[in-house]
Amino acid sequence: MAKQTGAGWTTLNVGDSSNASTDIRNDVTNFSFGTPRGVQDVTGIDKSAIERLLLLADFSTTLNGVYNPAVSHVVFSTVPSTSVNRMWAMTIGGKNLNLGTAGAGTGAVLFTDYQLTRAQTAEFTWTAPGVLANGSVPTWS
């Protein structure tokens, strides 16, 4: 497979407060995600360099988009008032980022905020940060 851009994203679905999967690609202008691992410093006084152990895996994301009252707002407007793990599905270049059983409709991501910004020039945008919720190790398939 050849190198490719991030244009033409295949799948970016997020569950609403009832975990109904919604395709939000058209409303998302950009986003970031990470799959970091924790580390523990276990350096003894007999070492001349740091010694570490890998710890738990994690996932975090920040989605940014344009306000759409019929799609993305329906998904994220309940973030401040509900405490639900939301379904997450992401595919690019035929590769899926799996967060446990999210594809089966159970929640994998906790969205922690839904920030709306109206700029002086009238752009109306949103940001929604999320973190891993279900304890499953993020894996690519």
pTM comes to 0.89
Residue 26 domain flag = yes
Q: 3-class SS at 86?
A: strand
Q: How far apart are CA 60 and CA 34, in angstroms?
A: 5
Considering the domain boundaries, does residue 94 fall inside one? yes
Range of the domain at 69: 11-33+60-140
Q: Is 72 left (phi over 0), alpha (psi -120 to 50) or beta?
A: alpha
- Residue 79, in any domain of the structure: yes
- Tell me the pLDDT band of 6, cut-offs 50, 70 and 90: confident
Give tens-digit pLDDT for 28-71: 999 999 999 999 999 999 999 999 999 999 999 999 999 999 99
Instruction: Determine the 3-state secondary structure of 93 from DSSP.
Output: coil
Domain count, the chain: 1
Q: How far apart are CA 57 and CA 100, in angstroms?
A: 12
pLDDT for the residue numbered 1: 66
Which of 14, 101, 112, 99 has its CA nearest to residue 57? 99
Tokens standing for residue 87? 């379904």
Mean pLDDT across the chain, nearest whole number? 92
